[in-house]
Chains A and B, each alone.
Chain A
Amino acid sequence: MKKILLALIFLFNNEAIAQNKAPQDMIREFVQIVGDQIIDVAKDKSLNEVQRKQKIINIIDKSTDSKWIARFVLGKNHKTANEEQRKQFMSMYREFMINTYGPKFNSYDGKKFAVNSVEKQSNFYLVKSEFTPKNSDVAIFFDFRIKENEGSFFIVDFIAEGVSLIETQRSEFNSSISEEGMDKFLENLKKRIDSLRLENGKTSPKNSGKSTKK
């Protein structure tokens, strides 16, 4: 009983502390934690490639608002698609996103990840950050867009060299849907997810070879 009480006090106290903080500080912390978590997993040599991939996929899954992104990426096709197609797309997009982008962070075992600034822009926050790779002193700069949803923060965009991931993907999806039609596109998306799952479930000798040679 005492333990429960203590836990409750701890919980509420934490919340009180959290509420006193400015959202900018909370976001800075949130992005830093996500970045550090990814680097830690990428560095962890006790895990094999598949375990690392799956762990990073989980981190990405938890920290992104895939429903929001899915809706954004669907763009103008949201209006023309029927209920069934919309549902299919929404349910598939999350799997597609985490399995496509998660494994890309596998090689992010860098020296440092730092958040440089947090700036409010209309209804989201723009976070500027830098990452220093393992074998280089030159930092790579990239930005995140963060959205608040019921007291929690979620990543909704990743920007490198001024190129927004969701904007580019929306353009790509729009173009592909208008060329091939919605049904064919959904079919391709399904096929892609299946092959990505298969790929992420096994080690790829080609990739590991590449990373050692670079």
Chain B
Amino acid sequence: MFNSIKINCYKSVFFVGFLISSIQFSLNCFAQENDAEFEKEFSQFENAINKGSIHDPFENFNRKVYKFNDTIDRYFVEHIARGYRYSVPRPARTSVRNFLDNLTLPISALNSFAQGKIDNGLTTISSFIINSTLGVGGFFEVAGKRGLDYEREDFGQTLGYWGMSSDNFLMLPFFGPSNARDLGGFVFDRSLDPVGFNVVHFGGNTNLIDGNYRIANTAIKVIDNREELLDILDGIRKDSFDPYATIRSAYLQRRLAQIDN
């Protein structure tokens, strides 16, 4: 009698032990299966979003430049931009931005043509003409309000469009994030631009635009750009565990999206 109870006891202990271990085993299996499923999903997801990888062989140097820019920004540029936001009312700021934007349209149109986007290029030129005339020298963005819609293009995008990879990531002093391709594109665009570097002379006229105007244009552009970025950069500085990496990733993704548009 006792013997049989004992055996039963052993049996049940054995059974419970078996049960526990089998539950654990199946849980483990489930977890592994779950992991495998996760991994499969992620690889599918990554193939679909295809953001490309980051090439940053000069990271140490770039980080130093970032620190330099960040310091200059915190001491000077940011304060000027904030002062500009609080002292100049929004409509006036919008007009300034429209004026500066309008001046970049001819180069943008040229780049559209270079990418074979004839329709976009023509729309850009129409917008430039309409804004410059009806929009009083570009201060009012009339074309956009009338439904003329176009994408902006620059030479970095043109190179990307024709298959050139972004190559090494660069953090430029004063200018911020860029890469080898976009830096080349930027220099090329500014060389063609009458308000840019004054390298290419149109019609033999070497002083089409006064040097002081060029400097003023650049200065206002810097303040306007920084004002536009105030909220974004405040957010990055507050939220990011590594602002350099955040800016690098966001810049590269944004450029990729602009090339794909």
Contacts and interface: CB of A to CB of B under 8 A. Distances in A.
B214 to A, nearest CB: 29
B45 A172 contact: no
A163 B48 contact: no
Main secondary structure of the interface of A (DSSP, over half): helix
Interface stretch (B66-74, B108-116, B191-199, B244-252): B244-252
Interface residues of A, number: 29
Contacts, number: 70
Interface in B222-253: 235, 239-242, 244-246, 248-250, 253
A122 interface: yes
Interface centre among B42, B47, B90, by most A CB within 10 Å? Answer: B42
Contact of B249 (A104, A124, A167, A179): A167
B245 A164 contact: no
Contacts of A173: 241
B245 A171 contact: yes
B38 A164 contact: no
A156 to B, nearest CB: 9
A122 B257 CA distance: 19
A161 interface: yes
Nearest to A72: B42
Nearest to A170: B249
A60 B180 CA distance: 39
Interface string A165-184: 00111011111100100000
A167 B44 CA distance: 14
A151 interface: no
Contact of A176 (B41, B241, B250, B257): B241
Contacts of A168: 246, 249-250, 253
A192 B258 CA distance: 33
A123 B45 contact: yes
B88 interface: no
Given A71-B42, A124-B48, A185 B241 contact: yes
16 contacts: A72-B42, A121-B48, A162-B253, A162-B256, A162-B257, A163-B249, A163-B257, A167-B49, A167-B51, A168-B246, A168-B249, A171-B245, A171-B246, A172-B240, A172-B249, A175-B245
Interface of A: 68, 71-72, 100, 104, 121-124, 161-164, 167-169, 171-176, 179, 185, 188-189, 192, 213-214
